């Protein structure tokens, strides 16, 4: 997302990263990686669970978020959802861009 922020974020959109890591870990990660969008902590796993994007167990860890991408409109309606079972797979950005252009 960081490397493509200019094609995803504008005056009508906001990219936000959400992770089950602590806020302190996310602050350190954002500084190290140079993220130019907010990283929010879902430490209690409420958002990940609500959006159906959590592994019960992954490599022995409980409650890890799945790699996911969502477009949520201003009314809070999910317009696009992608949830991967493969933790190493990144979302394709063209479908997200298409959704953003239609939702604008």
Instruction: Dump the DSSP string for 13-36.
Output: ----EEESS-HHHHHHHHHHHT--
Average pLDDT, the chain: 92
Tokens of 38: 């907010």
Provide the CATH number for the domain around residue 33: 3.40.30.10
pLDDT at 104 over 80: no
Instruction: Give the span between the Cα atoms of 5 and 8, in whole angstroms.
Output: 5
Q: Specify the pTM.
A: 0.86
Which residues share a beta bridge with 69? 82
* pLDDT of 31: 95
Tens-place pLDDT, residues 25-77? 999 999 999 998 999 999 999 999 999 999 988 888 888 999 999 999 989 99
Residue 96: exposure state from Cβ atoms within 10 A (0-12, 13-18, ≥19): buried
Res 16 pLDDT > 80? yes
Number of folded domains that form the chain: 1
Q: What is the pLDDT of residue 1?
A: 82
Q: Return the pLDDT at 56.
A: 87
């Amino acid at each position: 997302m960081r490397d493509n922020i200019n094609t995803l974020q504008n005056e009508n959109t906001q990219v936000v990263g959400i992770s089950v890591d602590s806020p302190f870990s996310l602050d350190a990660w954002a500084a190290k990686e140079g993220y130019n969008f907010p990283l929010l902590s879902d430490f209690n796993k409420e958002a990940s669970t609500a959006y159906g994007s959590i592994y019960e167990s992954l490599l022995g860890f409980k409650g890890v978020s799945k790699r996911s991408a969502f477009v949520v409109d201003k009314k809070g309606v999910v317009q696009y959802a992608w949830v991967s079972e493969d933790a190493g797979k990144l979302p394709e950005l063209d479908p997200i861009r298409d959704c953003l252009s239609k939702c604008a």
